[in-house]
């Protein structure tokens, strides 16, 4: 069971805390009556997706003994025009940095994450299409 | 278009930043090779859901001129046993505090959020069942 409590601070600002104990501040932008004191909830979805698939990919690449020094995910999501404005399309670009990292290992790690392991990705994939790309940077 | 960048910090710790500019730290727990330096990605989903529906509900209650002094969402999610372990059931309890707040106004605000406006809720509802309850606290 995963639990979280989210409390109104003021205006449109909310403070969230889940069982792991970390505080997440959320707020609307100025046009929506907020003050941008924290993240938009729909941004958190993409951040969570990047973290979720990033954890999968780095774990798998380490198991495959790839010499990885860095991983970055650039996530872009396009929302539907109509309410509830769920994500229609989400693209994630993986940038994997390291020495002699094998493209087939990266491809396989991404595939395993997106097709099998990543809970947040599977949730987004319930309402939209996820596409991906990757680049390997030698360093 | 919503954009976020998520970068490996070390171990299983990732740092995420979306267009609004706020940093979100994510990490796995110790059993999964992390150090709990930040939130679990699947926790963020529930936090985002609480913030999303909380913003809807407070906006609607203010428009209905309800004298609300506080709103809190307790969100609990049960994941499936099998990968990708998406949420099977999510329950959100709303606690609305204020003076003379009308139950029918609260019910209607929650209904509008869950059935129409809340993007994160609609995303979770794509893979699982969302149930809700509410309490009004006079203060």
CATH number of the domain encompassing residue A65:
3.30.300.20
Q: Is B102 exposed, middle or buried (0-12, 13-18, 19+ CB in 10 A)?
A: middle
A121 and A94 inside one domain: yes
List the one residue out of B72, B55, B41 whose CA is nearest residue B121: B55
Q: Which CATH number goes with the domain that contains A5?
A: 2.20.25
Q: Do A40 and B75 touch (CB under 8 A)?
A: no
Check: pTM over 0.95? Answer yes or no: yes
Contacts of A111 in chain B (CB under 8 A): none
Assess whether B67 and B21 both reside in one domain: no
As a whole number of angstroms, the distance between CA B9 and CA A135 comes to 19
Mutation site for A-interface testing, chosen from B45, B79, B94, B130 by largest number of A Cβ within 10 Å = B45
Domain that holds residue B26: 1-39
pLDDT attached to residue B46: 98
Residues B10 and B45 in one domain: no
pLDDT band at B51 (very low <50, low <70, confident <90, very high): very high
Residues B27 and B92 in one domain: no
Structure tokens, A16:
């969230």
Interface test with B, best of A47, A49, A111, A137 (most B CBs within 10 A): A47
Question: Does B34 lie in the same domain as B50?
Answer: no
Asked if residue B79 and residue B114 are part of one domain, the reply reads: yes
Number of structural domains chain A divides into = 2
What ipTM score was computed for the predicted complex, to two decimals? 0.98
Element (H, E) at A90: strand A87-99
**Helix B41-63, helix B103-112: angle, nearest 10:** 130
Give per-residue pLDDT as tens, A36-82.
999 999 999 999 999 999 999 999 999 999 999 999 999 999 999 99
């Amino acid at each position: 069971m995963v639990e979280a409590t989210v409390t109104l601070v003021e205006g449109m600002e909310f403070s969230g805390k889940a069982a792991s104990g970390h505080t997440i501040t959320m707020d609307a932008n100025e046009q929506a009556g907020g003050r941008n004191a924290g993240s938009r909830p729909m941004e958190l979805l993409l951040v969570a997706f990047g973290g979720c698939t990033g954890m999968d990919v780095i774990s798998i690449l380490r198991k495959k003994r790839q010499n990885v020094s860095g991983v970055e995910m650039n996530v872009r999501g396009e929302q539907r025009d109509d309410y509830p404005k769920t994500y229609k399309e989400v693209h994630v670009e993986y940038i994997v940095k390291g020495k002699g990292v094998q493209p087939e290992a990266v491809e396989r790690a991404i595939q395993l994450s997106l097709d099998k392991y990543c809970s947040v990705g599977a949730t987004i994939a319930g309402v939209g299409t996820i596409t991906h790309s990757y680049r390997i940077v030698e360093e």
